[in-house]
Chains A and B, each alone.
Chain A
Amino acid sequence: MTDTPTSSHGTGPFIAAIDQGTTSSRCIIFDRDGRIVAVDQKEHEQIFPKPGWVEHDAAEIWTNVQEVVAGAITKAGQDIAGFTPADVKAIGITNQRETTMLWDKNTGQPVHNALVWQDTRTDALCRELGRNVGQDRFRRQTGLPLASYFAGPKVRWLLDNVDGLRERAERGDILFGTMDSWVIWNLTGGVDGGKHVTDVTNASRTLLMDLKTLQWDPKICDSIGVPMAVLPEIRSSSEVYGTTDVGGLDAVPVASALGDQQAALFGQTCFAVGEAKSTYGTGTFMLMNTGETPVNSYAGLITTVGYRIGDAKPVYALEGSIAVTGALVQWMRDQMGLISTAAEIETLASSVEDNGGAYFVPAFSGLFAPYWRSDARGVIAGLTRYVTKAHIARAVLEATAWQTREIADAMFKDSSTEVTTLKVDGGMTSNNLLMQTLADFLDVPVVRPMVAETTCLGAAYAAGLAIGFWPDTDALRANWKRAAEWTPQMDATERDKEYKQWLKAVQATMGWLDEEES
């Protein structure tokens, strides 16, 4: 044989990334080409104390994080000849955004379960904080509407509802953090000198940070009722915060933190203005790089920090979220029983040429971006006797594509920047018909990268940049490999006609609930 057999895995050195997600914590080890070398994952408990309340046990999460780091290192040791933990040169963090916790800095114990981003217990508080101004009271400074997702009001709820907590906080014994802060504090020593920091992307989801100065806004903190003493120091997304000895590592730099969607933007190497990524899971998050100045949204989007590398200028993003995408396919499977696996939606939808005149607007819990109408409910419009379940399946996939188109249009309205290529990731990218429909409806090429784990990859990239493992973002771009590309094939007249029909169907969802119900 003339070939020297090479391992299917790369050779060292490596970068590790921790993804502290909503349902599980994972650790992935990457090589210099951005290929996955080892993965370990552990789920944690979802705690539902009341309808609408969702909590996590932060102590359990920290235990799991330590286990998956150790687990990934063990697996790398088994698969790669000569691997030692010293081959891991840095570790990065990405996390579920907005999930909020407080802990005692002397004992290292959480004072309450973490309040998860989906938790709606602060709905009333957010309305109260809006006073006569409404949900946009802090939008100019923070880029965010007053909504129950964001961390600031969750901190206030904890201080109001855990006995004696406000006094302890004001004495300086209590620390606040989103999951990045909690993980970094523990990784870097915990009660024994742990670093109390957060990064700009996570801080931009608190409703407490000024987007321009990238510092906590004392007035807003006061208005929401969060004492400045509990807040972590805001750092860039890519710098060495400290070192860790967890999981068999020895003084390895902890060198990045990014909220999960921002990490995906980074992992998809959307480093230029106008580059956008869309992650298709249960719901969908689309982010577009808008460059070094924050763009205010008047079209129902959120303004957020995309990333900041060390001392460089921050890069901002517009974000649009769609509540129901993959969830609609699951609904077709679980509630309607029209398919037996999610992938079958494509089989059913492919059995017909078009939607047969049917449109499905899945406004199951109201309309999100760009409408924000809580009085809307789902509609299947355009039904005739001709329509079959296959047409409905097609309408289901088209709903995801049209909703993406509406976000892209809103991004153009706000930023005057057109999305020129859409980079996609997430589970639904295995649906070929959906990807083609996206390209057709947006009239731009849709591309899927070769590494599906863009979230972890983004955190690894940011950590590697911080320690010089990769020289610059150009080197990361060179790692980005196209796995597939779908080009638009739809006739423009047809597209415009269909879009009009879709928008009519969207109108039909609005005002379904009477005012007092919504």
Chain B
Amino acid sequence: MPGSIQSLERAAAVLRLLAGGERRLGLSDVASSLGLAKGTTHGILRTLQQEGFVEQEPVSGKYQLGAELLRLGNSYLDVHELRARALVWTDDLARSSGEAAYLGVLHQHGVLIVHHVFRPDDGRQVLEVGAMQPLHSTALGKVLSAFDPVAHNEVAEGELAALTARTVTGSAEFESVLELTRSRGWGSDLEETWDGVASVAAPVYDRRRMPVGAVGVTGAVERLCDADGIRSRLVAAVRDCARAVSRDLGAGRF
């Protein structure tokens, strides 16, 4: 039976101690409560502090739980917050691309559309917010599967149903599609979900650089593609938009 790692056990004990009872403790309080040497305790506290799990009060020098720990427990980004942040950028994406823009997140083994901007022409369109799209065939779904390990697990457990003649249904082939998506930073769907329809999408990151969603455009394959696949200016517009939303979420320049 593999043994547990002593320093992790000790770090967990420190966090539990700071979480209960008196919330601010000095180094010697922590050391004596846990029966550890001061030097060892200091090393643990310093490491936890570097990770943001513990904070030291500048004046008293006492330790308390850090903001990062609170964020971990409350990590999920509200999808309505995501929409509010994306609004300006997705409007501009629809305008500059001339196509409908979508923002999707992982939800119950599929892609939940949380925001939809109409294609900027006079055609009749229906708002698709709240609709679900498949993970394995759409550009949004492939991007989520490629960048979000949870989405990857979900898609790997499910069946890769053939929605059109072009849907990738073999798991080895699908993995290489995800590998390509990861290496170039964007995903595409060339009539793999709906005949005659193509899409392109890129990942959106939050302030901790976690993939929280995907943004992209969808439209007639004749408009989105040229002989080489998705038109490069559309790829650029989608990736610009994804970067802008990520920056708005605090992901920093990249």
Contact surface of A with B, Cβ cutoff 8 Å: 1-3, 5-6, 8, 33, 35-36, 341-347, 427, 429-432, 450-452, 481-486
Do the beta carbons of B233 and A3 come within 8 Å of each other? yes
Do the beta carbons of B80 and A452 come within 8 Å of each other? no
| Cβ 8 A contact of A343, one of B81, B117, B129 | B81
Asked if B8 CB lies within 8 Å of chain A CBs, one says no
Q: Which of B39-77 contact A (CB under 8 A)?
A: none
Q: Which residue of B lies closest to A350 (CB)?
A: B80
Do the beta carbons of A6 and B233 come within 8 Å of each other? yes
| 25 pairs, CB–CB < 8 Å, chain A vs chain B | A1-B228, A2-B226, A3-B226, A3-B232, A6-B233, A8-B237, A343-B84, A344-B81, A345-B80, A346-B80, A347-B80, A427-B84, A430-B83, A450-B94, A451-B91, A452-B87, A481-B95, A481-B118, A481-B120, A482-B118, A483-B91, A483-B94, A483-B117, A484-B127, A485-B127
Known A430-B84, A484-B116: A452·B237 in contact at CB below 8 Å? no
Closest 10 CB pairs of A and B: A343-B80, A343-B81, A430-B84, A481-B120, A346-B80, A343-B84, A2-B226, A430-B87, A450-B91, A483-B117
Write out the residue numbers on chain A whose beta carbons fall within 8 Å of the beta carbon of B233: 3, 5-6
Do the beta carbons of B127 and A486 come within 8 Å of each other? yes
Interface of B is mostly: helix
Contact surface of B with A, Cβ cutoff 8 Å: 78-81, 83-84, 87-88, 91-92, 94-96, 116-118, 120, 125, 127, 129, 226-228, 231-233, 236-237, 240
Do the beta carbons of A343 and B232 come within 8 Å of each other? no
Q: Determine the distance from Cα of A5 to Cα of B233 in the docked complex, in whole angstroms.
A: 6
CB proximity of B208 to chain A, nearest CB, Å: 17
Do the beta carbons of B78 and A484 come within 8 Å of each other? no
Write out the residue numbers on chain B whose beta carbons fall within 8 Å of the beta carbon of A427: 84
Q: Determine the distance from Cα of A432 to Cα of B78 in the docked complex, in whole angstroms.
A: 14
Do the beta carbons of A347 and B79 come within 8 Å of each other? yes
Do the beta carbons of A344 and B92 come within 8 Å of each other? no
Write out the residue numbers on chain A whose beta carbons fall within 8 Å of the beta carbon of B236: 5, 8
Write out the residue numbers on chain A whose beta carbons fall within 8 Å of the beta carbon of B78: 341, 343-344, 347
Q: Which residue of B lies closest to A435 (CB)?
A: B127
Write out the residue numbers on chain B whose beta carbons fall within 8 Å of the beta carbon of A347: 78-80
CB proximity of A5 to chain B, nearest CB, Å: 5
Write out the residue numbers on chain B whose beta carbons fall within 8 Å of the beta carbon of A346: 80
CB proximity of A446 to chain B, nearest CB, Å: 10
Q: Which residue of B lies closest to A10 (CB)?
A: B96
Do the beta carbons of A2 and B87 come within 8 Å of each other? no
Write out the residue numbers on chain B whose beta carbons fall within 8 Å of the beta carbon of A3: 226, 231-233
Q: Determine the distance from Cα of A344 to Cα of B226 in the docked complex, in whole angstroms.
A: 41
Write out the residue numbers on chain B whose beta carbons fall within 8 Å of the beta carbon of A485: 118, 125, 127
Do the beta carbons of A452 and B88 come within 8 Å of each other? yes
Q: Which residue of A lies closest to B121 (CB)?
A: A481
Write out the residue numbers on chain A whose beta carbons fall within 8 Å of the beta carbon of B237: 8
Known A8-B240, A35-B95, A484-B117: A2·B227 in contact at CB below 8 Å? yes
Q: Determine the distance from Cα of A427 to Cα of B236 in the docked complex, in whole angstroms.
A: 27
Q: Which residue of A lies closest to B228 (CB)?
A: A1
Do the beta carbons of B87 and A431 come within 8 Å of each other? no
Do the beta carbons of A8 and B92 come within 8 Å of each other? yes
Write out the residue numbers on chain B whose beta carbons fall within 8 Å of the beta carbon of A342: 84
Write out the residue numbers on chain B whose beta carbons fall within 8 Å of the beta carbon of A8: 92, 96, 236-237, 240
Do the beta carbons of B83 and A432 come within 8 Å of each other? yes
Known A35-B95, A451-B91, A486-B127: A343·B83 in contact at CB below 8 Å? yes
CB proximity of B36 to chain A, nearest CB, Å: 36
- Given A5-B236, A450-B117, 18 additional A-B pairs, CB 8 A: A1-B232, A2-B231, A5-B232, A8-B236, A8-B237, A8-B240, A342-B84, A343-B80, A343-B81, A346-B80, A430-B83, A432-B80, A481-B94, A481-B95, A481-B120, A483-B117, A484-B117, A485-B125
Known A450-B120, A484-B116: A2·B228 in contact at CB below 8 Å? yes
Write out the residue numbers on chain B whose beta carbons fall within 8 Å of the beta carbon of A345: 80
Write out the residue numbers on chain B whose beta carbons fall within 8 Å of the beta carbon of A486: 127
| Cβ 8 A contact of B91, one of A5, A343, A452 | A452
Q: Which of B92, B95, B120, B236 neighbours the largest number of chain A CB atoms within 10 Å of its CB?
A: B95
Known A5-B233, A484-B116, A485-B118: A344·B88 in contact at CB below 8 Å? no
Q: Determine the distance from Cα of A452 to Cα of B232 in the docked complex, in whole angstroms.
A: 27
Write out the residue numbers on chain A whose beta carbons fall within 8 Å of the beta carbon of B231: 2-3
Write out the residue numbers on chain A whose beta carbons fall within 8 Å of the beta carbon of B81: 341, 343-344
Q: Which residue of B lies closest to A450 (CB)?
A: B91
Q: Which residue of A lies closest to B244 (CB)?
A: A8
Q: Determine the distance from Cα of A207 to Cα of B21 in the docked complex, in whole angstroms.
A: 64
Write out the residue numbers on chain A whose beta carbons fall within 8 Å of the beta carbon of B118: 481-485
Q: Determine the distance from Cα of A36 to Cα of B88 in the docked complex, in whole angstroms.
A: 11
Write out the residue numbers on chain A whose beta carbons fall within 8 Å of the beta carbon of B94: 450, 481, 483
Q: Determine the distance from Cα of A8 to Cα of B235 in the docked complex, in whole angstroms.
A: 12
Q: Which of A8, A345, A431 neighbours the largest number of chain B CB atoms within 10 Å of its CB?
A: A8
CB proximity of A213 to chain B, nearest CB, Å: 41
CB proximity of A474 to chain B, nearest CB, Å: 14
Do the beta carbons of B91 and A432 come within 8 Å of each other? no
Write out the residue numbers on chain B whose beta carbons fall within 8 Å of the beta carbon of A341: 78, 81
Q: Which residue of B lies closest to A349 (CB)?
A: B80
Write out the residue numbers on chain A whose beta carbons fall within 8 Å of the beta carbon of B125: 482, 485
Q: Determine the distance from Cα of A6 to Cα of B98 in the docked complex, in whole angstroms.
A: 13
Do the beta carbons of B116 and A344 come within 8 Å of each other? no
Q: Which residue of A lies closest to B240 (CB)?
A: A8
CB proximity of A157 to chain B, nearest CB, Å: 40
Do the beta carbons of B240 and A344 come within 8 Å of each other? no
Write out the residue numbers on chain A whose beta carbons fall within 8 Å of the beta carbon of B83: 343, 430, 432
CB proximity of A151 to chain B, nearest CB, Å: 33
| Cβ 8 A contact of B95, one of A5, A429, A450 | A450
